[in-house]
Amino acid sequence: MKRIGILTSGGDSPGMNAAIRAAVRCGIEAGMEVYGIYRGYEGLLDGEIRQLNRSSVGDILQRGGTMLKTARSERFRTEEGQEKAMQMLETFGIEGLIIVGGDGSLRGGLDLSNRGIKVMGLPGTIDNDLAYTDYTIGFDTAVTTVLEAISKIRDTSSSHERTTIIEVMGRHCGDIALYAGLTGGAEAVLVPEIEFNLNEVCQRIVIGANRGKQHSLIIKAEGVDISSQDLVEAIERKTGRETKLVVLSYLQRGGSPTLRDRLLATQCASKAVELLHADSESKAIGTVNGQITALPLQEAIEQEREVNREMFNLIRVLSK
Ligand code: F6P
């Protein structure tokens, strides 16, 4: 393979830049030309494609976001869009593609792979919602950001003896809430995968307050089936305690990537280049039990995620 491309797609995540840097420099080291495709599949359709050299990816390792920009592309979802994308790849002579993104982005990669190009998928999303890998690139940084926020919110919640609902990202996957809740000492964690009982949550708050707890922190993933504002009102009504809402939103998607995210991104990208250079079949790269793995793309995408119930139960035990 002489020429490969890389794109980032879907919601950005800290560590995407580390992946781009490693892909470009490892690709050049292997004797290949590496092309950056800007604005994800949108940019691919529009031919926003430029060759990258070692210096193009200088000084990005420590930055959040993605220097290639990203987008969610409706046009690419159609047969016509995918055909056009294949033509564009042919026009630029790109023989292999590295795609850094979440579930939808890797599915897009599979569509292209089925049309004949070799694709290496890297798990780039803060959501940690891909079953085939232990962690996704950006998750560790996002949870670290949430933890920093929790400790600040805890200070003020304590002073005012309030309950605070902290809404974090995760439409279908509650891992950010789960990991931040366990390591940040939340009273309760609400995730989309597990039904919650409002009375039980309120009981915890009241029992905690009666035994002298200064504050209660509830971490709620955005995908839980009740609006955060409705939850605030319901809890305030049922517990009689002042309840506030903090929505962390995009704050948790930015920031300099942690050690874990830089390492995961760098090692996955290096593996992707190695596989493209060897003309391997399309793969999804990630880690299983801490080891870098490459599974057939389709097989990886089809794996079903399960919420970590042990972790969920542990939060209940620790916050009693
Ligand atoms: O990238 C994943 C994610 O951050 C989800 O957690 C969130 O639900 C979604 O993206 C937000 O998407 P957008 O950036 O399009 O608002």
Q: What tokens appear for 82 in the block?
A: 């995918």
| Residue 102 backbone class (left: φ over 0; alpha: ψ -120 to 50; beta: rest) | beta
pLDDT at site 195: 97
Residues 92 and 59 in one domain: yes
pLDDT band at 320 (very low <50, low <70, confident <90, very high): confident
Asked if 45 and 124 sit in the same domain, the reply is: yes
Whole-number Å distance, alpha carbon 222 to ligand 1 midpoint, is 10
The pLDDT-based confidence of 124 (bands split at 50, 70, 90) is very high
Q: Which atom of ligand 1 is nearest to the CA of 11?
A: 1
CB 244 within 8 A of CB 163: yes
**pLDDT given at position 244:** 98
| Catalytic position from the list 127, 129, 175, 261 | 127
Indicate which atom in ligand 1 lies nearest the CA of residue 170: 6
CATH number of the structural domain spanning residue 233: 3.40.50.460
- Neighbouring-strand partners of residue 291: 288
Percent of the chain at pLDDT exceeding 70: 100
Arithmetic mean of pLDDT over the chain: 97
Of all protein residues, the one whose alpha carbon is nearest to atom 11 of ligand 1 is 11
Taking only the tens place, the pLDDT of each residue in 191-236 is 999 999 999 999 999 999 999 999 999 999 999 999 999 999 999 9
What pLDDT, in 10s, does the model give residues 248-306? 999 999 999 999 999 999 999 999 999 999 999 999 999 999 999 999 999 999 999 99
Please indicate, yes or no, whether residues 184 and 233 belong to a single structural domain of this protein: yes
17 and 49 inside one domain: yes
Residue ranges of alpha helices (H) inside the chain are: 16-29, 40-46, 79-91, 103-114, 139-160, 175-184, 198-210, 228-239, 259-277, 297-302, 309-318
**What atom in ligand 1 is closest to the CA of residue 253?**
4
pLDDT at 248: 98
261 and 296 within one domain: yes
| Dihedrals phi, psi of 135, to nearest 5 degrees | -140, 155
List, edge to edge, every strand of the sheet that includes 291-296: 49-52, 33-37, 3-8, 96-101, 118-123, 283-288, 291-296
261/132 same-domain check: yes
Residue 82 sits in a domain of what CATH number? 3.40.50.450
Q: How many domains does the chain have?
A: 2
Q: Is there a single domain that holds both residue 106 and residue 196?
A: no
Q: Which of 39, 127, 219 best tests ligand 1's pocket when mutated (most atoms within 8 Å of CB)?
A: 127
The Cα 205–Cα 284 span in angstroms is 43
Q: Are residues 107 and 250 in the same domain?
A: no
Q: How far apart are CA 56 and CA 311, in angstroms?
A: 42
Residue 280 lies in a domain: yes
Q: Which of 214, 229, 254 is the last residue of a domain?
A: 254
Residue 210 lies inside a defined structural domain of this protein:
yes
**Rounded-to-integer distance, Cα 28 and Cα 54, Å:** 8
Same domain, 226 and 294: no
Does residue 307 lie within any of the structural domains?
Answer: no
Is 173 a member of any domain?
yes
Classify residue 170: in a domain, yes or no: yes
Residues with CB under 6 A from ligand 1: 10-11, 72, 102, 125-127, 169-171, 222, 253
The whole-angstrom distance between residue 131's C-alpha and the CA centroid of its chain comes to 12
Mean pLDDT, residues 76-83: 98
Q: Is 319 part of any domain?
A: no
Please check whether residue 310 lies inside any domain of the structure: no
Active-site residue, 127 included:
yes
Q: CA–CA separation, 128 vs 146, rounded Å?
A: 14
Please state, in angstroms and rounded to a whole number, the distance separating the CA atoms of residues 176 and 170: 7
Q: Indicate whether 77 and 173 sit together in one domain.
A: no
Q: What are the backbone angles phi and psi of residue 219, rounded to the nearest 5°?
A: -100, 125
pLDDT of amino acid 263:
98
Confidence bin at 73 (pLDDT 50/70/90): very high
Give the domain extent around 116.
3-138+257-302
Residues 19 and 153 in one domain: no
Residue 203: partners with Cβ closer than 8 Å, 6 or more residues away? none
Distance 13 CA to ligand 1 centre (A): 10
Together in a domain, 132 and 166: no
pLDDT band for position 39 (50/70/90)?
very high
* Residue after which a domain boundary falls, among 254, 289, 313: 254
Which amino acid residue places its CA nearest to atom 1 of ligand 1?
Answer: 11
- Which amino acid makes up residue 244? K
Domain-embedded: residue 311: no
